Amino acid sequence: MAAASFRIEPGEIFGVVGFSGTGKSALLRLIDWPDGRGDQVRLSRKDIGRATDGELRVARRSIALVSQPLNLLHERSVLANVSAPLDIAGTSAPCARVRATACLDWVGLADKAKAYPAQLSAGERRLLAVARALATDPDALLCDDPSAALDSRSANRVLSILQALNRDLGLTILIATQSLEVVREICHAVAVMDGVVVAERIRLGDLYAAPRTRLGRLLFPTPDRARVRRCAHLCLIRDNSW
């Protein structure tokens, strides 16, 4: 993909939207795993794209990726799947169990702890991957098309839980998706990819935004500015009359 430049504010849900083949997943992988050969990825004002191997290992603990495919461990229980990153990090078994149980509770799967991935629905497997990503207490969560191939009920559940994690934990979330509905539903801002470049950044809720790209205009139709001004003027008159 070509050079991409945009800023994600701490604590916001940021979307990357574009058609298939525009490099959305590649962008997530770059952020999750910069190779230290000049890619500039700043996390909390630190350029981890130019960090040493030791600095990269530390920085990567603060970023978690929910990828496609989910790469679940099907021979292990739901609880063991969530505790797997903690086992690798050398966390003691009792502490890993407590943390994994809390993560399952956050995504609504506490009652499935002893089940296996094959016994879960598609939406529950997606939530299991989210819980596993939360195990290491990341600052940022990267989600590659979290509602893909799910029925509407399951998709809404996944998106609602991501919103709750953002609201309750202050978690910064980056979502790559082809779905305009997902962006409209939960994102605070969005980067529109056109071809293999980030063409523009739009803040949802900005009445005066003027998208330049075709996809941006589909996502955020240009408002009738004269109508917006008239409504604002009427509101001002009404407020003054009170």
73-84 pLDDT tens trace: 999 999 999 999
Query: Contact, 129 vs 65, CB < 8 A?
Result: no
Strand 172-177 and strand 13-17: pairing?
Answer: parallel
Q: Is the pLDDT of residue 162 over 50?
A: yes
Taking the C-alpha atoms of residue 151 and residue 98, their distance in angstroms, rounded to an integer, is 32
Give the pLDDT confidence score for residue 235 in this predicted structure: 52
Spell out the domains of the chain, with CATH numbers in brackets.
13-241 (3.40.50.300)
Q: Which residue has the tokens 């939530």?
A: 127
Q: What is the mean pLDDT of residues 158-184?
A: 95
What's residue 141's pLDDT? 96
Residue 228 has a pLDDT of 46
The number of residues in the chain equals: 242
Q: Between these two residues, 38 and 119, which has the higher pLDDT value?
A: 119
User: DSSP labels for 69-125?
Assistant: S----TTS-HHHHHHHHHHHTT--HHHHHHHHHHHHHHTT-GGGTTS-GGGS-HHHH
CA separation, residue 183 to residues 10, 12, 16, 70, 147 (Å): 18, 13, 8, 21, 11
Which pTM does this prediction carry? Answer: 0.84
Q: Is the pLDDT of residue 232 over 60?
A: no
Q: Is the pLDDT of residue 105 over 70?
A: yes
Output the pLDDT for position 237. 47
Q: b/e map of 153-185 (b: 16 or more CB within 10 Å)?
A: ebbebbbebbeebbeeeebbbbbbbebeebbeb
What does the alpha-carbon distance between residue 176 and residue 95 come to, in Å, rounded to a whole number?
32
Q: Which long-range contacts (CB under 8 A, 24 or more apart) does 112-116 make?
A: 112/78, 113/77, 113/78, 113/79, 114/77, 114/78, 114/79, 115/77, 115/78, 116/74, 116/75, 116/76, 116/77, 116/78
CA–CA separation, 133 vs 163, rounded Å? 15
Q: For residue range 33-49, what is the model confidence (pLDDT) as tens digits?
A: 765 555 667 666 667 66
Question: In whole numbers, what is the pLDDT of the chain averaged over residues?
Answer: 84
